[in-house]
Amino acid sequence: MSASKRISIAVDGPAGAGKSSISKVVAKKLGYLYIDTGAMYRAVTLAVLRAGANPADTDAVSHLLSNLTLRMEPTEEAFRVYVDDNDVTDAIRTQEVNANVSVVAAQKAVRQYLVAQQREMALAGGVILDGRDIGSVVLPNADLKIYLTASVETRAKRRWLEMKDNESVSLDDVKKSVADRDEMDKNREESPLVCVPDAVVIESDNLTFDETVDAMLKLATDVANKAEA
Ligand code: CDP
């Protein structure tokens, strides 16, 4: 029997659907590289905020991009991101970044800059990329496309439970922030979040974490075995 192919997997879906935590585990089990494209948009957003620029000012943001050094280090344990050699992997997870990332990610210059790097990282195959436009724009020829979703209530609740400081944030506030981000990501002009027709939809409301991992693993293994190396 020939070896199965090391395929490329695109995982898209709205905020808090579990894309990154699930994709990370699936990638580890398959021995694939996991690429968190959202972390890249977050890193650019953090750089914009730290520079004191207005995240909505497209000229200022595109000027900043020309002087930015962004480096990604995908390992089995984490997807580490560096801005100008500073490790920002944890710093990109704040509410301030959450509140501004969709404004930055809607900009054409930002998307061109990051999509080129994402495609390059995916070239070798044996990769899982998660984001909003992976199946539609970044890897339109991905071997497997998955759209992972759940109701806004489920997604907000998961996010809230995950937050270390959730005594100071209400579930309603998290729900609003998740819904606002979905709204912006789905309605923007540049690469909006869409469920492409050739994606397999996984609704995770009634699935546990492990069940979702298993569903994705099965899809990946089936596609990889059919494709063969
Ligand atoms: O993990 P979560 O669902 O909160 O979001 P994320 O994957 O970290 O992405 C943060 C934001 O970056 C999203 O809300 C989008 O605005 C943007 N993004 C994007 O536009 N395209 C991608 N491929 C990935 C993220």
Task: Say how many C-beta atoms besides its own lie within 10 A of residue 92's C-beta.
Answer: 22
Q: Region 194-216: what's the mean pLDDT?
A: 97
Q: Within 13 A of 135's CA, how many CA atoms are on the CB side?
A: 20
User: Among the atoms of ligand 1, which is closest to the Cα of residue 102?
Assistant: 16
Write out pLDDT tens, residues 38-57.
999 999 999 999 999 999 99
DSSP assignment of 80-134, as one string?
EEEETTEE-TTGGGSHHHHHHHHHHHT-HHHHHHHHHHHHHHHTTS-EEEEESSI
- Percent of the chain exceeding pLDDT 90 equals 87
Mean of the per-residue pLDDT values for the chain? 94
More confident residue, 128 or 177: 128
Pair 193, 132: CB distance under 8 Å: yes
What pTM, to 2 d.p., does this model score?
0.94
Which phi and psi angles does 117 have, rounded to 5°? -70, -35
Q: With a 6 A CB cut-off, is 182 part of the ligand 1 pocket? A: no
Going from the Cα of 67 to the center of ligand 1, the distance in angstroms, rounded, reads 23
The answer on pLDDT for 2 being more than 70 is: no
Task: Say how many C-beta atoms besides its own lie within 10 A of residue 7's C-beta.
Answer: 22
Spatial separation of the C-alpha atoms in residues 214 and 197, rounded to whole Å:
22
Q: With a 6 A CB cut-off, is 158 part of the ligand 1 pocket? A: no
User: Among the atoms of ligand 1, which is closest to the Cα of residue 134?
Assistant: 23
Which DSSP letter does residue 24 get?
H
What pLDDT, on a 0 to 100 scale, did the predictor assign at position 169? 84
